[in-house]
Amino acid sequence: MSEYVIMTDSSCDLPGSLADEMELSVLPLYVDVDGQKYMNYLDEREISFADIYAKLRTKCPAKTSAVNMNDFLEPMENLLKAGKDVLYIGFSSGLSGTYNAGEMAAQELRERYPERKIYTVDSLSASLGQGLLIWHAWQEKQKGKSIEEVRDFTEATKLHLCHWFTIDDLMFLKRGGRVSGATAVVGSMLSIKPIMHVDNEGHLIKVGTARGRKASIKALADEAERLGADLSEQTVFISHGDCVEEANYLADIMRSRFNVKKVLVNYVGPVIGAHSGPGTIALFFLGKER
């Protein structure tokens, strides 16, 4: 069986140390904050995530820059030249053009390297949802599964990867065009927090509201109870927009209420955070359905 590498992009929001342990190949995406462009490395080598969120809190303009096929060609080709096959698990095509750029690069390289295997999977996931899907794929790889088996496992699992979010500041959703200005103003005045998830097409969808911050965080755990499959046997991931105490509050709920096996907590990286803003809390777990 040929050696292969799992490749992804930095919207997976995995801790840099874990990505290194998993021997992932990670393409950094880009974020522009206050006119300065940064590469989103998982190890925060260009700018710390805390610094990004500090800028966002001062209302610095932020936007993300799309990668293109050429950004993928070199890192993919380097792996192929080293005699390794590639399984790319990419950022949801429902939220970004990143996956499609990776697939285009893979198509070109399949023609150049017909002896090598290059597979791509649209994760239909984002942030640590993407990260958790990759972690499960890596667990299969650790069992000695072939690249085709891991690809098929990932395809079969991705629509069971549940993503549940709450946003603290509705003004960030207003800037992204997801709520109206009036909704954002009234919601902020009444402390109404949206409850959102990523659907089967990989889009971020608002599905409800909660009154107050703690209620919105507890609502995420309620969704885990409704949808989760054998939560006591699961590792769950939680990401946060520079609000680690509240992320740990949700982690404590998941431990005490469901006795989950393990919880990993990390930042919502700047690519997602530029749109969701400070105070975002997201919960990721495997469920009967999304």
Q: What is the CATH number of the domain that holds 278?
A: 3.30.1180.10
User: Is there a contact between 161 and 98 (Cβ–Cβ < 8 Å)?
Assistant: no
Instruction: Answer yes or no: do 132 and 221 share one domain.
Output: no
pLDDT at 177: 52
Could you say which of 111, 137, 155 is where a domain stops?
155
- Is the per-residue pLDDT at 36 higher than 70? yes
Instruction: Answer yes or no: do 10 and 150 share one domain.
Output: yes
Q: What is the number of domains present in the chain?
A: 2
Q: What is the CATH number of the domain that holds 82?
A: 3.40.50.10170
Instruction: Answer yes or no: do 28 and 151 share one domain.
Output: yes
Over residues 165-218, the pLDDT tens digits come to 998 876 666 565 555 554 444 445 557 888 999 999 999 888 888 999 999 999
Instruction: Answer yes or no: do 10 and 126 share one domain.
Output: yes
Q: Is the dihedral of CA 17, 31, 59, 181 positive or negative?
A: negative
Over residues 72-83, the pLDDT tens digits come to 999 999 999 999
Share the mean pLDDT of the chain: 92
Distance between CA atoms of 83 and 67, rounded to whole angstroms? 25
Instruction: Answer yes or no: do 136 and 215 share one domain.
Output: no
Instruction: Answer yes or no: do 129 and 77 share one domain.
Output: yes
Mean pLDDT of all residues in 90-117: 97
Select from 242, 235, 245 the least CA-distant residue to 283.
235
Over residues 208-264, the pLDDT tens digits come to 889 999 999 999 999 999 999 999 999 999 999 999 999 999 999 999 999 999 999
Instruction: Answer yes or no: do 95 and 174 share one domain.
Output: no
Instruction: Answer yes or no: do 54 and 181 share one domain.
Output: no
Distance between CA atoms of 5 and 169, rounded to whole angstroms? 38
Q: For residue 182, what are the domain limits?
A: 160-286
